[in-house]
Chains A and B, each alone.
Chain A
């Protein structure tokens, strides 16, 4: 087929604090398909972009955490609805990475289902993972899970989309604010998803998406003292050592691509990775 016009190549921006921004470094990278075809460009996030994302996440955290569980569920479900309506576009973006269009569409459908699944957990995890504790003194004692704060999510490169969406949902459903570092080899689907999040009801800053070179960002993620937790599904074990500086909660979730697409890819126990259990005591008396 002969080409009659030149493609307008897009440079996908970073998604920070609900806004699309270019890297403050001005750097960009080329996204290519599996066979090396140049697709689009995307921003190459710097240390300062990470810093800005942490500030945005920290600012968004309290307001998001305070929203009712019901509303958080509504908002996540709304994101699923939005993704469903834009499924074709995302599937095309996934397809451009070099997998079949059927497989691409299946991955989007799975991501939608993951969102719906975790949306339903917002108003249940407290009941399932919390407790009223029968202490031996005259006290009412209960334990509730609360969001830990600002969480960095490192999804795997492959699959490029489903794990990122599933992990993001499992992290923010409790009230955390997240920073996701997109797949290094195929960042475009997640960056396209950012455009869906931007027009959903999710408050700006609750989900921030960075792209670029993961290894460059890792030491800064590890060392940043306003990050509370890191969920590593990309095999970035090196982040853990530096993360000790402020005792970040570090979790490794290393699954095979098949597992990410199986029932193992939507584990409700992941919620426990980024919550803090708070136990309150109060005397029972008159």
Chain B
């Protein structure tokens, strides 16, 4: 049985992470780690192969090499853009390709089309599939249905890693988030992810904490280390560092790696880069000095 979650206390604990003072070398190494954990994302109706190419280029080398910033963990695109991304990045790219399959963002499509979408995205070269769960089914209590669908999609992924998006903003309560996290991990998720970015609220520190705690319990129960991806709403370096603090103090060193922790974000990267340059050079930075993508 999954434990319940007390809202006030979990939010209080979450707030404590934001009060850590991260300065100088800790800030610099933390921010570089953040970049390496970033799923640089574009999920717009107006996306084109050209836009995706820009994104891939930025993910490969976020800033001039002299700053020693690592590439991002992945780019995250719609299934129709996977080929374009793969064409740009080539095979064996250190930057992975993640794709939101399964009727993103609502998930309100027949299972067979969602499975087909998953197979094709994986076949087109996606290393990671970010699926959405059927929140309607979850809220209606049809946990078995949600579970079975995750199992099926995991199978359709083949070797691609599966990130399961809970869309916590629609699950509303931390209790639901905790149950859904548990369900997704039991069903075979490699990662659990907060949000699509299309629903408010998206990722928050407390909701991520609840999911990290579920991951922790799952690790002790099964021995498996499941990854975590907060997505949406993380816009600045300070917030990102608070997430790192939370990972460090909740799951420890083993999770401080892009293998097990990712940020889903689009505008976060440049703020992180500005802070890196500021920390290294001392000047406050201006947006004009950082390429948009």
Please report A residues at the B interface, Cβ cutoff 8 Å.
137-139, 283-286
A284 neighbours in B (Cβ, 8 Å):
8
B172 neighbours in A (Cβ, 8 Å):
286
A138 neighbours in B (Cβ, 8 Å):
8
B48 CB-CB contact with A under 8 Å:
no
Q: Known A-B contacts: A138-B8, A285-B11, A286-B7. Give 10 more (CB < 8 A).
A: A139-B8, A283-B6, A283-B7, A283-B8, A284-B8, A285-B6, A285-B7, A285-B8, A286-B172, A286-B173
B65 CB-CB contact with A under 8 Å:
no
B interface size (C-beta, 8 A): 7
Of the listed residues B8, B11, B173, the one surrounded by the most CB atoms of chain A closer than 10 A to its CB is B8
11 contacts between A and B (CB under 8 A): A137-B8, A139-B8, A283-B7, A283-B8, A284-B8, A285-B6, A285-B7, A285-B8, A285-B11, A286-B7, A286-B172
A-B CB pair tally, cutoff 8 Å: 15
B8 neighbours in A (Cβ, 8 Å):
137-139, 283-285
Q: How far is the CA of A137 from the CA of B172 in the complex (A)?
A: 21
B221 CB-CB contact with A under 8 Å:
no
B140 CB-CB contact with A under 8 Å:
no
Q: How far is the CA of A124 from the CA of B9 in the complex (A)?
A: 34
A286 neighbours in B (Cβ, 8 Å):
7, 172-173
Q: How close is B5's CB to chain A, nearest CB, in angstroms? A: 9
Q: How far is the CA of A137 from the CA of B11 in the complex (A)?
A: 12
Mark out the residues of chain B between 1 and 46 whose CB falls within 8 Å of any chain A CB in the assembled complex.
Answer: 6-9, 11
Q: How far is the CA of A283 from the CA of B9 in the complex (A)?
A: 8
> Nearest CB to that of B7 among chain A residues?
A285
B9 neighbours in A (Cβ, 8 Å):
283
Q: How far is the CA of A283 from the CA of B6 in the complex (A)?
A: 8
A285 neighbours in B (Cβ, 8 Å):
6-8, 11
